[in-house]
Copies of this chain bind each other. A is one copy, B any other.
């Protein structure tokens, strides 16, 4: 165990020895390196050790020991965080729960299931398909559902099916000191005391480690269809979205890609029929009649706003190609500048302010001299720019952060939030007080202190200490 002497005190090393975690505890440098960062541009920090938990009891024993000795614990899932969540800034233990990936229970008649936190959306939906059920929350990465709970994730389907917040019925959580609690329950609603489930959803690993999740499921819709709607101007594209939402058409997805992003996707995902102009990708779920009705309503609105084209993707293959291209948008953007890194902004605004927020961001991007393709879960008022940081420009990272701040500042001024779905982590902490006010932030800190008095759980995240 020599390699562990880097950071953990001897007494902790002896404690881990006594736990008998065997291979589940490692100080291997390559594995520690993998656990030193997510998919963001934060400076990596190596943990002192990585624990691969396989059971709730592994988590309990690890936390109990770390709590006793004040060792920092950073939960780790698939490592897809875009805001530095999994970077163990105070070293200590990276607690990897990705091997806790069992689907424990599916209740088709109640449309719920119980899973371990390392299960991914893809894995779960593969498993559920034969039962006519699906889990809708789709952030578009190969993240774990535990990570989605921790960051209050959402994605393309949230406009219709809600975010992870609306799709979790209950949790098992191991608290900082090793106590295990069950939150929520099996019913669709309850008025039975404080909503602990919602307290842990979005707490970013700072209050405890999620070890089981009870999810709401949905019936696979009888009919689905998709469409691609292209516009000469971004303004017309956004106005179409606002009108669709205000009329109340229950679209399943309504995704915007600007002309830069469309250019990238056409090249990356081979979409020869599309133009590099502002575009909406749409999906409609329901009965055959309601899907037709929704799509006709949207087409009529889009035509009113001067849509250049409105093309159907009715067969499953065309639909899958479309959504695959949308999912790969981040990588298509990165591929525009070989070797670049991307900083993802995540502003969300009230729908009526979406045009201002988007068009303003476009101006800021133009002024920055950087390339930043834009995509948006625009039905929710949420959009991302991936600011590309070229490897050969020494000042580019600084300019990129300056651009990020400008886009966020405008979002906040428009009544929005700095984060629609990626979470705060390290990257958005500076905006939090502006957004909530000092007193609300103090309340959040007091909850943190109540549940994690020693501050061992994912320290440095959400709060600037």
Contact = CB atoms under 8 A, between A and B. Distances in A.
A424 B193 CA distance: 7
B202 A191 contact: yes
A205 to B, nearest CB: 12
Given A181-B437, A436-B182, A191 B109 contact: no
A424 B432 CA distance: 33
Interface in A201-222: 201-203, 218-219
Contacts of A185: 415-417, 435
Interface in A407-465: 415-424, 428, 432, 435-437, 439-444, 446-451, 462
B443 A181 contact: yes
A416 B186 contact: yes
Contact of A350 (B107, B424, B432, B435): B107
A151 B191 CA distance: 6
B191 A423 contact: yes
A183 B180 CA distance: 28
A432 B346 CA distance: 39
B348 A190 contact: yes
Nearest to A435: B192
Interface stretch (A29-37, A286-294, A311-319, A335-343): A286-294
25 contacts: A154-B191, A158-B189, A163-B189, A179-B442, A181-B440, A183-B440, A185-B435, A187-B382, A188-B351, A189-B380, A189-B382, A190-B419, A191-B423, A192-B417, A192-B435, A193-B424, A193-B462, A194-B447, A195-B198, A195-B201, A195-B202, A287-B293, A289-B289, A290-B293, A450-B450
